[in-house]
Copies of this chain bind each other. A is one copy, B any other.
Amino acid sequence: MPVVTLLTDFGTADGFVAAMKGVLLTIAPDAGLVDVAHDIAPGDVEAGAWVLSQYWNLFPPGTVHLTVIDPGVGGARRAIALVADHRFVVAPDNGLVTYVVRAAASWRCVELAEPRYMRPGLSATFHGRDIFAPVAAHLARGVGLERLGPALNEVRMLDIQPPEKAEGEIRGRIAHVDRFGNLITDIPDDWVDEAWHIVVRGHAVGGLRRTYSDVDRGELVAVIGSMGTLEIAAREASAAERLGVARGDPVTATRGSFSR
């Protein structure tokens, strides 16, 4: 039974996701549908790209990840499907696959161009139902990627600066703020250890600890998060609120100044 996951910014209360599910199950009745999230902030492609990075390669090979955050629907942006490390992603070509492409050992991509794998009578406002869902269903049924359209050598990438490490200083950014107010950075775990002093937008956080409960309730703590990057949290509280910071804000680490 092939699995199709769904990530959108559609909410659920308008029935748009349900329409996609109906289309999916009509074409691929045996597909296992798995909801990821539908409450991504409307049009927030960067949030969607980050969320996709959390799960895409944890699913079994052959899984189809249907991802529709598509503020440019009906306009000039392309529609794409790619296979990365044996998992498929179907998406608008607007940067949603940025982290997948960066992390994958290998990937191939096509532009969706074959009407036979789309819904007849294509709407101009709902490609989730009319293009992305039917294509995902056909992939789940085993249709080959190359049959969906011409190969692409490039996809659109989000313009996100990677972290930098110089002698005694690391400069990264908050890549995501989660529901708990934890600040998930882009700084890899093997760049930092207890000897580094961490600062978020001017606020000293101190040095690296093992887990949240290594500090008292409400205190700030730097740990290695679940995806192997530096994370700043407040124990059983929101670090984002405490520090008044948001996605994109700078995080720096300096070495040897921990005793200050």
Q: Is the CB of B179 within 8 A of A14?
A: yes
Residue among A39, A52, A57 having the largest count of chain B Cβ atoms under 10 Å: A39
Give CA–CA (A58, B7) in the complex, Å.
Answer: 19
Neighbouring B residues of A7 by C-beta, 8 Å: 18
A202: Cβ under 8 A from any B Cβ: no
Q: Contacts A18-B5, A22-B55, A226-B126 given: A35-B60 contact, CB under 8 Å?
A: no
B-contacting residues, A26-75, CB 8 Å:
26, 29-30, 32-40, 42-43, 47, 50-55, 57-60, 63, 71-75
Give the residue of B23, B39, B224 whose beta carbon is less than 8 angstroms from that of A124: B224
Give the residue of B9, B32, B36 whose beta carbon is less than 8 angstroms from that of A18: B36
Give the residue of B13, B50, B59, B226 whose beta carbon is less than 8 angstroms from that of A123: B226
A107: Cβ under 8 A from any B Cβ: no
Neighbouring B residues of A123 by C-beta, 8 Å: 224-226
Task: Output the least CB separation between A74 and chain B (Å).
Answer: 3
Neighbouring B residues of A74 by C-beta, 8 Å: 210-213
A197: Cβ under 8 A from any B Cβ: no
Q: Contacts A23-B58, A225-B125 given: A12-B29 contact, CB under 8 Å?
A: no
A173: Cβ under 8 A from any B Cβ: no
List chain A positions with a Cβ less than 8 A from chain B: 1, 3, 5, 7, 9-19, 21-23, 25-26, 29-30, 32-40, 42-43, 47, 50-55, 57-60, 63, 71-76, 123-126, 129-130, 176, 178-180, 210-213, 223-226, 231, 233, 236
